[in-house]
Amino acid sequence: MLYHVRMDVNIPLDIDKQKAEEIKATEKAYSQELQKQGKWRHLWRISGQYSNISIFDVENNEELHSILQGLPLYPFMNIEVMPLNRHPSSIRDDDS
Amino acid sequence: MLYHVRMDVNIPLDIDKQKAEEIKATEKAYSQELQKQGKWRHLWRISGQYSNISIFDVENNEELHSILQGLPLYPFMNIEVMPLNRHPSSIRDDDS
Amino acid sequence: MLYHVRMDVNIPLDIDKQKAEEIKATEKAYSQELQKQGKWRHLWRISGQYSNISIFDVENNEELHSILQGLPLYPFMNIEVMPLNRHPSSIRDDDS
Amino acid sequence: MLYHVRMDVNIPLDIDKQKAEEIKATEKAYSQELQKQGKWRHLWRISGQYSNISIFDVENNEELHSILQGLPLYPFMNIEVMPLNRHPSSIRDDDS
Amino acid sequence: MLYHVRMDVNIPLDIDKQKAEEIKATEKAYSQELQKQGKWRHLWRISGQYSNISIFDVENNEELHSILQGLPLYPFMNIEVMPLNRHPSSIRDDDS
Amino acid sequence: MLYHVRMDVNIPLDIDKQKAEEIKATEKAYSQELQKQGKWRHLWRISGQYSNISIFDVENNEELHSILQGLPLYPFMNIEVMPLNRHPSSIRDDDS
Amino acid sequence: MLYHVRMDVNIPLDIDKQKAEEIKATEKAYSQELQKQGKWRHLWRISGQYSNISIFDVENNEELHSILQGLPLYPFMNIEVMPLNRHPSSIRDDDS
Amino acid sequence: MLYHVRMDVNIPLDIDKQKAEEIKATEKAYSQELQKQGKWRHLWRISGQYSNISIFDVENNEELHSILQGLPLYPFMNIEVMPLNRHPSSIRDDDS
Amino acid sequence: MLYHVRMDVNIPLDIDKQKAEEIKATEKAYSQELQKQGKWRHLWRISGQYSNISIFDVENNEELHSILQGLPLYPFMNIEVMPLNRHPSSIRDDDS
Amino acid sequence: MLYHVRMDVNIPLDIDKQKAEEIKATEKAYSQELQKQGKWRHLWRISGQYSNISIFDVENNEELHSILQGLPLYPFMNIEVMPLNRHPSSIRDDDS
């Protein structure tokens, strides 16, 4: 099942720099593992923003929430979720 | 080059029903032709809305505008465009 | 799977009164059938508004969209959808 | 009498972790006691948010305010209240 | 029980003038009857607006909704409701 | 002359608790003195909020500003002011 | 007593042109009479908008509302009112 | 040339009190000097707010920006600028 | 003197098509004449929108308002104006 | 390819002053180098704001993001990006 998720990241300016780098590295590994599993289907950067647009393909709302809550950057994020459907005009097999 | 586009459709309630069906059929054909060409990369319905989220992969801003302006439903749409970048954590070949 | 849906109804002032009553009657029957099936789990009126708060319990996003799009009042509604999860502090069996 | 309440939680990032855990544990006990009493009728998590949707069934505005003000997480919450009515199309005994 | 209600009136410009005057006269009688009963506790005009601020003192949400839905100008109004409590610093007997 | 005032209070989480209690006590005395004088005509709590709705009956804008600026909690408040008029449908002597 | 008023004018596109001109002429005469009386203290156009910023100097809220409601363009206006005070740093005699 | 400027002041709660008083005194002198020169044409307090409405009469955008940027309270202000025109219905010599 | 202007065009769906084309042609000629004079300094389309971003270089607010009000599409436009200054970091001769 | 970018700068009040000056100097050099290269096509200050409007002419979204992310003031900025097109009525060679 597909979800459209926008994540806006706001890391406080006074955070310890090394700690911030560690969190970002953990975030990257966490994201890439979920991409390999096919659960984090797409991931794009919004130009000029510390924000991304992601498409998740998960079993249900529970799995989505569990993944988002587990994001290492979760405490610094504002997250918006929209459930998606296959569009009746879509011709792509992998858009549903 | 990738763009994130949200289209919200508002067809007036008093429009001629047959005309509306014709426009929708033309829209579908227009969209599917662009999907086949790879320019309209993804297309999803937002649950509960007469709205879609689309990812376009086009040469530049000019081509994007030309495609959007040519949508048969364009006069009835509210459109929002966000340029996208490959995300540094993405592992997918087709997300850029 | 649970969804929180808010529906705001705006029937045009100049609509034919009898037609409006027919649509409302069909809407009521449609809603009650879905309530009997357990898919439209809760339904409340917001005080002072021609609006309701509904909780749906359906298989997935597809079924939700199909139900909402089938609402007889759908052309006159503004709809907002939020996916819900069981809350870790909930003690009710029927809140998930 | 029914109320729809949305609570968004914002615990400051620099709070003492143990203190935060204690407050959350107290919050959970407080919420579950009110659920047992039937006053906190429903409780759901909004997917991807540190937020909940709750339905309260209390005597009056005074009791609602007293319960909300007593929430251990109250100082960290943004709260929105909407009074609810039984919906004329509802068939459920427990939606009023 | 007290409620704070704001009503903004938007009567369409092309409405029949005599019909509009009739509705306004009915509205006035309806409002004054409820004021006499003590249910419509206060009623003020917002300066420069076709809007009012009202305080209702009714049994419960059901009675409030029933009164508001019965307003002759209801189809032309936007209504916002906020439940009120006695304020701990109030010294007035009639503010609760 | 009447004014509708909404006050939202945001006391910082890290304020000294005793100091906060002192300010609140001074605020209460200040408010009650103005209520006794008839200048602070009504005072209600908004359910679930650290906010109040107040009706002031003062000589003019100057007196209103002077009273509001003198509130002990003024530095922690967001304040919105709307001038009010007697409503042509009001039957109450004390709503003007 | 001073009030800051912003008026945004929206005359429907399909209004009879001669009727519109008549209303505008009446509006101008109405405004200039009030300016002569000193009640409509200042009147400016906002660049690029069919909107004005006005300063009124009237007895009280009642007189302000009466003047605004009497504007020939009132049915086509959106109006915002803010009460003003003499500023403690002002050196002008006529800013209070 | 005329500009409508709204200034909202937010001085942090933890600022040194004496320093704050010095800045306010400097601000007052700065403002009064510009009023004497005729550049800061009008200055009013918005009732209940730490905000003012000002009318500036300066040579051009450059002079306006230079004056605003020079405000001693500038680092603590939110500023909104709207260019103004003489209104065709104005009869006052000094409103242009 | 420079101004940043955003124009959003909303031509009603039921307008006579030939009339619409005539207005657009007049608009184009009007715009190009002002561009030739150097008053309409820049003109860009916002991708996906029936909107433009324009930079005007005119004598003062009066000339700006006069030009905007004279736009053939003015009755169908929503217009936002921001005065601009030369930026202290700009190296271009023609950005002031 | 052209982009319209608005940058709003919010440097924290308690930042070390010398450090702030250094960042601003680096920012200026960075901006002027990009202006010389023709990539930062226009740069204006918004009157009364610590904000600018910029027009970028770059290869694609990637180059735009890379430039914006490299801004020395980037951690203190809120940035909005809109892709631009040549306007069909433009007569300027350098507006595309």
Q: Could you say which residues of chain G have pLDDT below 70?
A: none
pLDDT at E30 over 90: yes
> For residue I96, what pLDDT band results from cuts at 50, 70 and 90?
confident
Alpha-carbon gap, residue D55 to D41, rounded angstroms: 5
CB contact under 8 A, F68 and H47: yes
d(CA B86, CA A45) in angstroms, rounded, equals 6
> A20 to chain J, minimum CA–CA distance in Å?
14
Q: Mean pLDDT over residues H9-14, rounded?
A: 93
What percent of chain J has a predicted confidence (pLDDT) above 90?
93
Query: Cα G88 to the chain's mean position, in Å?
Result: 25
Q: Are A43 and B2 in contact (CB under 8 A)?
A: no
Query: Would the CB atoms of H81 and J13 count as touching at under 8 Å?
Result: no
Q: From the CB of residue B47, how many other CB atoms can be counted at a distance below 10 Å?
A: 28
Query: Cβ–Cβ of D85/C42 closer than 8 Å?
Result: no
To test the contact with chain E by mutation, choose from C24, C44, C47 the residue with the greatest count of E C-beta atoms within 10 A, namely C47
User: A95 pLDDT band (50/70/90 cuts)?
Assistant: confident
CB-side neighbour CA atoms (13 Å) of C30: 15
Are D79 and F45 in contact (CB < 8 Å)?
Answer: no
Rounded CA-CA distance E62/D87 in Å is 10
Searching chain C, which residue's CA lies closest to the CA of residue A64? C85
Mean pLDDT in order along chain B per 10 residues (96 residues) = 97 93 97 97 97 97 97 97 96 83
pLDDT tens-digit series, residues J33-60:
999 999 999 999 999 999 999 999 999 9
Distance CA E51, CA F75 (A): 31
The residues on G that touch F, with CB distances below 8 Å, are: 1-3, 60-62, 64-65, 81-86
Helices and strands (DSSP H and E) totals, chain E: 2, 4
Cβ of A53 within 8 Å of Cβ of B84? The answer is yes
Among the partner-chain residues J13, J45, J48, the one whose CB lies closest to the CB of H5 is J48
Do F64 and H47 count as a contact with CB atoms less than 8 A apart? yes
Chain C residues whose CB is inside 8 A of the D89 CB are: 27-28, 31-32, 43
pLDDT at B10: 95
When pLDDT is averaged across residues H63-73 and rounded to a whole number, the result is: 97
Measure in Å the smallest separation between the Cα of I25 and chain J Cα atoms: 10
Chain E: nearest CA to F47, how far in angstroms? Answer: 5
3-class DSSP string for chain J: CEEEEEEEECCCCCCCHHHHHHHHHHHHHHHHHHHHCCCEEEEEEECCCCEEEEEEECCCHHHHHHHHHCCCCHHHEEEEEEEEEECCCCCCHHHC
pLDDT for B4 = 98
Torsion sign across C-alpha atoms D55, D59, D62, D68: negative
Model pLDDT, residue B11: 94
Please give, rounded to a whole number of angstroms, the shortest distance from the CA of B33 to a CA of chain J: 24
Predicted local distance difference test score (pLDDT) of residue H64: 98
For residue D52, which of D23, D78, D19 has the smallest C-alpha distance?
D78
Cα–chain-centroid distance for residue G89? 26
Through-space distance between the first and last CA atoms of chain J, rounded to whole angstroms: 7
Say which residue the tokens 């409509």 belong to.
Answer: G40
pLDDT tens sequence across C32-80: 999 999 999 999 999 999 999 999 999 999 999 999 999 999 999 999 9
Tell me which residues of chain A have a C-beta less than 8 Å from any C-beta of chain B. 2, 4, 27-28, 31-32, 35-36, 42-48, 52-53, 55, 82-92, 95
Q: H1, I61: Cβ pair inside 8 Å?
A: yes
Nearest chain D residue to A6, by CA: D48
Which of E61, E65, E75 shows the shortest C-beta gap to C13?
A: E75
pTM of structure: 0.95
Cβ separation C92–D42 shorter than 8 A: yes
Average pLDDT over residues E16-39: 96
What is d(CA E61, CA C47) in angstroms, rounded to the nearest whole number? 6
Check CB contact under 8 Å for A83 and C62: no
B71: chain I residues, CB-CB within 8 Å: none
Quote ipTM for the complex. 0.95
Q: Degrees (nearest 5) of the Cα angle F89, F92, F93? A: 120
Say if the Cβ atoms of E53 and F90 lie within 8 Å.
no
The predicted structure's pLDDT at residue I85: 96
Does A87 sit within 8 Å of B28, measured CB to CB?
no
Q: For residue range A33-86, what is the model confidence (pLDDT) as tens digits?
A: 999 999 999 999 999 999 999 999 999 999 999 999 999 999 999 999 999 999
Question: What length does chain E have?
Answer: 96
Give how far E60 is from chain G: nearest CA, Å.
33
List pLDDT tens digits, range F22-48: 999 999 999 999 999 999 999 999 999
> Which of J4, J43, J84 comes nearest I90 by C-beta?
J43
Give the mutation candidate from J60, J64, J82 for the B interface (greatest B CB count, under 10 A).
J60
Instruction: Indicate yes or no: CB of B91 within 8 angstroms of CB of A46.
Output: no
Rounded CA-CA distance J57/H28 in Å is 45
Amino acid letter for position H47: S
Whether I94 has a pLDDT exceeding 80, the answer reads no
- Phi–psi pair at I46, nearest 5 degrees: -85, 125
Nearest Cα neighbor of G7 from G76, G89, G84, G92 is G76
Neighbours of G3 (CB within 10 A): 25
Cβ-based contacts of B13 with chain C (< 8 Å): 12, 75-76
Whether J2 has a pLDDT exceeding 80, the answer reads yes
- Kindly list the residues from chain B whose CB atom is less than 8 angstroms away from the CB atom of residue A47: 82-85
Supply the Cα-derived Rg of chain J in whole angstroms.
14
Q: Tell me what pLDDT residue I93 has.
A: 82
Quick one: pLDDT at residue C73?
Answer: 97
Judging contact as 3 or more Cβ pairs under 8 Å, the answer for H and F is yes
* Closest residue on chain H to F71 (Cα): H48
| Chain E hits for F50, Cβ within 8 Å | none
Q: Collect all residues with Cβ–Cβ distance below 8 Å to D10 and sequence separation of at least 6.
A: D50, D76, D77, D78
Q: What is the pLDDT along chain D (96 residues), one digit of tens a residue?
A: 999 999 999 999 889 999 999 999 999 999 999 999 999 999 999 999 999 999 999 999 999 999 999 999 999 999 999 999 999 999 988 777
Question: CA A95, CA C63: separation in Å to the nearest integer?
Answer: 17
Against chain B, the chains showing at least 3 CB pairs within 8 Å are A, C, I, J
- pLDDT number for residue G96: 75
Q: Chains A, J: CB contacts under 8 A, how many?
A: 19
Give chain G's mean pLDDT. Answer: 96
- Cβ contacts of E47 on chain G, cutoff 8 Å: 3, 61, 64-65, 68, 81
